[in-house]
Structure 1
Amino acid sequence: MQGRLSAWLVKHGLIHKSLGFDYQGIETLQIKTEDWHSIAVIFYVYRYNYIPSQCAYNVAPGGLLATVYYLMRIEDGMDQPEEVCIKVLASRRNPRISSIFRVWKSVDFQERESYDMLGISYDNHPLLKRILMPESWIGWPLRKDYIAHNFYEIQNAH
């Protein structure tokens, strides 16, 4: 089922894939990596002025990596804010997505965390470096195929 925002994007010739609605009724759109920055600017111009959440995940072992942005439009006099969920997929071999830091400054640490845990590079981010793991850490801990080196688990420790 195509939502209002998806229909608007189609009307204006902006390529995307409608993923329907989540359990809360929030419209979910999949945007191509190369189109993401332009579409982000369009959403900002149309007063989507807040990002409560950005995260990333590993779609499948050896598969694509996904970045998810929740955008909100909050204005005086609105009964309920308008929300949209945007998914941007990146190849595992070279996971690069345009940073939207220059559009919404609030994604600064969120994009850095996604970089640190999954290795997704956010192009044009002003300070893309590890935020949780030490700079000397090798690998991306939240990838499904990650193997912790020199890690020994104590079995039946209780």
Structure 2
Amino acid sequence: MILKNNDGNPIELGHNEIIDLIPHRHPFLLIDKITDIDLGKSVTGIKSVTYNEPFFLGHFPSYPVMPGVFILESMAQTAASLVSYGDKELSKNNLVFFTGIEKAKFRKPVIPGCILYLKVNILTNKRHLYKFNGEAFVNNILVATSDFSAMLVNQDKAK
């Protein structure tokens, strides 16, 4: 069930709440908002893609396209936000590392001015290992999909 606030509207997390959940910071924080939180199940991340994104300087100057790996990273940050929101203790001293990316498909380019909707579902989780399915949409058109897995790693042990 999607979490709602006292007014009955779906809970939305903005920049300040997101940076309390995951360690990513500018210029590598690739989500602007989190909504449709269904704890332990699914979430939607939102990224407003602007021409000012640092990767557009080189990818590609005459036709800026968001790199597919950044779309996948946006999905992963959305997934990490869901996991951390469900257990805020996880965000205190853990990092989330990709352990696998499968079935990644990029169907349409994402360009400046697009609003990227990242719908992520938890497929499985065992202890600190998670498997997710992600879909990215622009204007309700599917632009990318992937299954991916990630692992929570204690920050002190990651060194």
Length-normalised TM-score, structure 2:
0.30
Larger of the two Rg values belongs to structure: 1
The higher relative CO (CA closer than 8 Å, separation ≥ 6) is in 2
Structure with the largest fraction of strand: 2
Length-normalised TM-score, structure 1:
0.30
